């Protein structure tokens, strides 16, 4: 038995070769009843018949019409309540319609939805990759259905009869073996290219700034790096700049933190950024066979450690002060919290 879909002009045709090599029953049903059903899936009217060849045992039916870049399958084809639309860019094959034991995939979907079924890349469509790799590929087969039925029955009669084995465990183990494959769907692969693009653009931006570092101020570097933090660490939702904090209990003395990043829970981290220059990390001369930090790096570490000390020592006062002063810049329903902080 072969089923072949053929696109021609604005129409889609289905060519069918029965397994038993005889199409006489098709002609008879069309003549006697005005319709016939192929593979218990596709129902055709006599007007849908395009060609019938009894010598080579095949028949061709019109199955869909192109409409606004979608092939429209009338609800009568699948005897459903809703029509089916498939984007003209999609290769149409029998696996999109027929599950194991000639179960109609489209009819099963129609049983749970209350609108036309659309497959494509439109706003109201189910994407082709999701349809094929997450629905069709993992459509329940006979083994899964059998295990599910045994599980349901055993859970009911377990209190009254001795059970041969743990059918609930057997069913769950079978499902769990399918889940890892589902997680490897093309959805992640589809997003991967955007992640590569994102990191490539970030790298290009940093290389360009380092090459022309003389024209950028320390403030420029801070703005770019803080923006990158939001891109590569999704937990952060906001960057706050020039944040004042109390450094003694009376509130008269303050220090200004250049950049503070806030995550979705309100926890904060501090970013201290210095403008890059040659040998700004380690001194060129060693000390007893060890290369030690430059004054610039040591000073930055000491500076941020003092910020952390003040934030923790006067955490209640600083929390209230920051939330009050930064309210207009903080996301809705997010309040800054000060916990044990780690220098970045």
pLDDT digit string (tens) for 131-171? 998 888 888 888 888 888 888 888 888 877 788 888 888 88
Give the list of residues 6+ apart from residue 311 with CB closer than 8 angstroms, or none. 245, 318, 338, 341
Q: Report percent pLDDT > 90 for the chain.
A: 29
Residue 2 has pLDDT above 50, yes or no: yes
For 263, phi and psi rounded to 5 degrees? -95, 180
Range with the poorest average pLDDT among 11-20, 282-291, 331-340: 282-291
- Report residue 7 as tokens: 């696109």
pLDDT value for 296: 73
Is residue 308 within 8 Å of 338, Cβ to Cβ? no
Q: Report percent pLDDT > 70 for the chain.
A: 90
Range with the poorest average pLDDT among 108-117, 176-185, 247-256, 305-314: 176-185
**Sequence-distant contacts of 256-260: CB under 8 A, at least 24 apart:** 257/307, 258/222, 259/222, 259/225, 259/226
pTM, entire model = 0.51
Positive or negative: CA dihedral 180, 181, 187, 192: positive
At residue 313 the predicted structure's pLDDT band, cuts being 50, 70 and 90, is confident
pLDDT digit string (tens) for 95-110? 999 988 888 999 999 9
Q: Could you tell me which residue, 329 or 13, shows the higher pLDDT?
A: 13
């Amino acid at each position: 038995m072969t089923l072949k879909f053929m696109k021609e002009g604005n129409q889609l045709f289905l060519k069918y070769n029965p397994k038993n090599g005889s199409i006489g029953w098709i002609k008879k049903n069309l003549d006697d009843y005005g319709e016939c059903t192929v593979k218990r899936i596709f129902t055709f009217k006599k007007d849908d018949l395009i060609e019938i060849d009894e010598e080579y045992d095949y028949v061709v039916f019109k199955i869909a019409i192109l409409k606004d870049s979608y092939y429209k399958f009338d609800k009568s084809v699948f005897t459903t309540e809703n029509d089916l639309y498939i984007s003209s860019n999609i290769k149409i094959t029998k696996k999109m319609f027929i599950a194991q034991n000639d179960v109609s995939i489209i009819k099963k979907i129609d049983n749970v939805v209350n609108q036309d079924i659309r497959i494509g890349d439109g706003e109201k469509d189910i994407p082709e990759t999701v349809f094929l790799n997450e629905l069709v590929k993992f459509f329940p087969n006979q083994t899964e259905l059998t295990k599910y039925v045994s599980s349901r029955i055993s859970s009911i009669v377990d209190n009254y009869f001795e059970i041969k084995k743990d059918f609930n465990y057997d069913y769950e183990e079978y499902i769990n073996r399918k889940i890892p494959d589902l997680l490897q769907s093309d959805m992640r692969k589809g997003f991967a290219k955007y992640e590569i693009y994102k990191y490539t653009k970030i790298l290009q931006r940093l290389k360009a700034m380092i090459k022309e570092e003389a024209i950028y101020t320390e403030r420029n570097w801070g703005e770019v790096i803080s923006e990158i933090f939001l891109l590569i660490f999704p937990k952060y939702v906001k960057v706050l700049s020039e944040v004042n904090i109390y450094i003694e209990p009376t509130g008269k003395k303050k220090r200004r933190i250049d950049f503070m990043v806030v995550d979705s829970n309100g926890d904060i981290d501090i970013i201290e950024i210095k403008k890059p220059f040659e040998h700004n990390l380690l001194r060129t001369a060693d000390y007893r066979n060890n290369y030690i930090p430059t004054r610039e790096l040591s000073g930055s570490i000491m500076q941020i450690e003092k910020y952390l000390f003040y934030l923790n020592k006067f955490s209640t006062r600083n929390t209230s002060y920051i939330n009050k002063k930064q309210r207009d810049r903080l996301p809705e329903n997010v309040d800054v919290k000060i916990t044990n902080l780690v220098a970045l």
